[in-house]
Structure 1
């Protein structure tokens, strides 16, 4: 198990496999390294690195939950790159991971060789944010992964039509863990407090961060049924960055799994655009 120490003393888990162009995978708000299991086999010729943010899965929980911020998590990314002695990486950022990528454009732009944003942009739709607030910190419903998978299907199935029961069970295994007391959260429940407190403040203007990606190969993937990244915001992003690779994935909500043809097309286009 690979871990490195942050400047404030936490040990964060990461995975590092393959060789070639380094692609740093940053998962969503409550997610972990397993979210990139579907796309990893398609990243031939790449060194695939997955960082699990503080307070999630095998990374240390922060004794001060107020540190669960995009800014500090972006600092953790830079410290991982320093630990690995990597000057630049392509960032594949899912949701929260994409927000971290945009923050890095403002704080450490030279470390970005390319960026792919998975179902995230400079405006987060209120309905999508409210859905996150409603579920974050709530223990999973079910006595085993099969039952939890069925509950996920009931809650998310309309946005992800056609997903098999087997895959819902697999997603439950990725997102939660089995304990003596049953199926439990795979992240610090105190993360919910930080998110809910932050949601009460006016939404920040993230367009300046998006604009700071200028000059960096950029791609955006959107789920057709996403409630977090709207079609109109994706259109505005495209107008600001005509060179941006983008695709909308049918039958996917927040977030696409990244093994879809449309997702892989965007990722591969960005990789092809990287100056090596």
Structure 2
């Protein structure tokens, strides 16, 4: 499993290449970690930089560059990191990936291959490229350690925080946050009721396939949670709460209306846990909401 020393090593490796994103107060004992302001619009840029740099140091990177499979954000992160490091990138995405994300991939210089209706199908196609370094979207130790650098920043900025709410798809983000912040901080997983890979795994006692649908499926639509995330969530006794599509839509709208924060639906899921009451903090509990991605079409926010 990944531990805090792995996360600290990742922080040293990617320092100066990623943004230290701000934390803002959202009321009494409430904060937002504005990771949606990260390069390429999501936290995954941290993990991708760490994956490529760590692999390069181990001699695993070839002239063929990297290949990734993604519903959108991991591909954007891979394309950004590869461009910054001068490495070729090929990204496989499902045909259902939002057009805004696909267009941005091209602008970042990646070769885009659209195949299948779900992440799992794009993933299988990407693995056929055996000459390039495969960058898993979430179930990779280097990815997880890089993502965990968010938690180190949050602890630096809000050392008094009791709880952090984290939206979960495949689990690469929450695994990193667990490594960086447990046991000092309670980490709560938030998942759409229609895409509940971690929730189902914790109930079953091991990762299982789940059906995927809903407004946040493009970013939280992993059919099966990663092994790393499952083991870390199990060991850390992490609670997963579920939120409805309606709650996600309302939370996203509220973030825009009240704070002028524009995020994607998957990101809004974390805030929806508070807004809907799926997670109810105790009196005086100090809670941070991790806002992890901004790759959305904002036209429906007006």
TM-score norm. by structure 2 comes to 0.28
**Structure with more of its chain in helix, by fraction:** 2
TM-score norm. by structure 1 comes to 0.30
**Structure with more of its chain in strand, by fraction:** 1
